Amino acid sequence: MSLVENRDARPPGPTGLPVVGNSLQFGRDPLSYMTHAARAYGDVVYLEFAGMPFYQLNHPDLVKYVLVENNQNYRKGDLFQYELRLLGQGLLNSEGAAWREQRHRLEPAFHPQRIAAFAEMMTGYTERLLEEWADEEVRDVHEDMMRLTLEIVADALFSVDIRRESTEIGEALETVMEQFRRSSRLPLEVPDWLPTRTNLEFHRAAKALDAVVANIIRERKAGTREGADDVVSRLLDAGVPEENLRDEVLTLVLAGHETTALALSYTFDLLTRHPPVLAEVQAELDSLAGHPPTMADVKAMTRTDQVLKESMRLYPPVYGLLREPFTDDEIGGYHIPAGATVGMHQWVIHRDPRFFSDPRSFRPDRWTPAFERELPAFAYFPFGGGPRRCIGDRFAMLEAKFVLGTILQQFDVEAVSTKPLELDPAITLRPKGGIRVRVTRR
């Protein structure tokens, strides 16, 4: 029996407007609005978006409850499915037995030993990018990292060279993410079939991405697959239908590079604004005897590791998670009805002064082993958690270390503007207008 005496009692929360609820206020500045709601109203906050109830959870224990302790009662939910509808029923969107089967098929591709075999490939692609960099040039490192991580994930997971399509994919992704951003902030849903300019652009971008995915699948079908161990070959050998294969490949293409590219982009921005920390990282990298990082060097890259963790604390590429309970639940002393949306935001909890002193400051030195042992579980969760924790978390961290290390061994990075970053929270947390830095050969 629930301990909640009054099942109709709602958690506290900001007052909304008729019909649209809190949608318009949220849409103006989601990050500030979520943060204000948490600080003003506590660990469970009630919001409403165009008649849909939304419960914002702001404490690590509550996040742990949803993602781990009672995860069997939660699914991704209708709102999440709608926002990521382009991905069909790939690993991010699928539920239940279908998800478990997909996860089981894909896990071998992310085994630590297999990931370690990609180290040289990761640094090789990075060095190829650096051949384009000129001394004293101003680069948009976000654009560079998006292209680089796309090429790496295509080679690692699909055994294809995607350089020819990387520009086309990047442009299509920008269009898709803009549509995601717009749909996540509108109080009322705009049907996909309505021939608005943005809908037409979205459909063209989706077709472009589908064409790239079809080409990847076609190449793997036509190539020599005997003994091949890439993801597409595994899925083909398992007899996965063409439509499901499309969803899985597109999911891995998008999710497999977007978040790593963002983590690297924000790290470069932070290092340009904190030259002493940059110098410490480069001193650590210089001790690797002049060669790009290898698996043997990973344990020695402690400062690099601290910087990446702190960057993902301040700017988590995935800044919020959504879940929906199958049946009524109780969280934080409040009744949560089945079908409501539950939100857990890394952006809010990662910056909570209860868990991080001076939370808005870039302080990589906070990440000591003692600090991590004392930090509550889910006070820091850039890769989510529980059974649906990001399958590629180890891959992403290794890639980030090798890419960052290879670049900073060869180049200094310097800020070209003192203005604070403008952020664009869509499905992921993107920098508005890119991140421009001056690169100087060391």
pLDDT score for 29: 94
pLDDT at 235: 87
Do 225 and 236 contact (CB within 8 A), yes or no?
yes
The span from the CA of 242 to the CA of 258, in Å, is: 24
E strand or H helix at 5, and its extent?
none
pLDDT digits (tens, 9 = 90+) for 300-320: 999 999 999 999 999 999 999
Q: What is the pLDDT of residues 337-392, one digit of tens each?
A: 999 999 999 999 999 999 999 999 999 999 999 999 999 999 999 999 999 999 99
In this prediction, residue 291 carries a pLDDT of: 87
CA distances from 122 to 113, 284, 396, 413 (A): 15, 19, 11, 20
Domain residue spans of the chain:
23-441
23-441: which CATH topology? Cytochrome p450 (1.10.630)
DSSP string, 302-363: HHHHHHHHHHHHHS-SS--EEEEESS-EEETTEEE-TT-EEEE-HHHHTT-TTTSSSTTS--
Q: What is the pLDDT of residue 226?
A: 52
pLDDT in tens, 239-257: 888 888 999 998 998 888 9
Summarize pLDDT for 13-34 with one digit per residue, the tens: 999 999 899 999 998 999 999 9
Query: Is residue 244 classed exposed, middle or buried when 0-12, 13-18 and 19+ CB atoms within 10 A define those classes?
Result: middle
Render pLDDT for 89-119 as a digit per residue (tens, 0 to 9): 999 999 999 999 999 999 988 999 889 999 9
Among 117, 12, 103, 198, which residue's Cα sits nearest to residue 399? Answer: 117
What tens digit of pLDDT does each residue of 121-155 get? 999 999 999 999 999 999 999 999 999 999 999 99
The phi and psi torsions of 257 (rounded to 5 degrees) equal -125, -30
pTM, to two decimals:
0.93
Structure tokens at 412: 């200094």
Which of the four pLDDT bands, split at 50, 70 and 90, describes residue 1? very low
How is residue 70 written in tokens?
């009672």
> Whole-angstrom Cα distance, residue 147 to residue 135?
20
pLDDT at residue 186 in the model: 55
Q: Which two tokens stand for residue 133?
A: 């960099």
Residue-level pLDDT at 182: 67
Please, what is the average pLDDT of the chain?
Answer: 91
Neighbours of 393 (CB within 10 A): 14
- Please classify residue 105 by burial: count the beta carbons closer than 10 Å to its beta carbon, then call 0-12 exposed, 13-18 middle and 19+ buried: middle
Exposure string of 29-55, with b = 16+ CB inside 10 Å and e = fewer, is ebbebbbebbeebebbbbbbbeeebbb
Mean pLDDT of 282-295: 91
Q: Is 259 left (phi over 0), alpha (psi -120 to 50) or beta?
A: alpha
Length reported for the chain? 442
Residue 434 pLDDT > 50: yes
Q: For a pLDDT cut of 90, what percent of the chain falls above it?
A: 68
Q: Does residue 187 surpass a pLDDT of 50?
A: no
Measured CA to CA, the distance from residue 352 to residue 315 in angstroms comes to 13
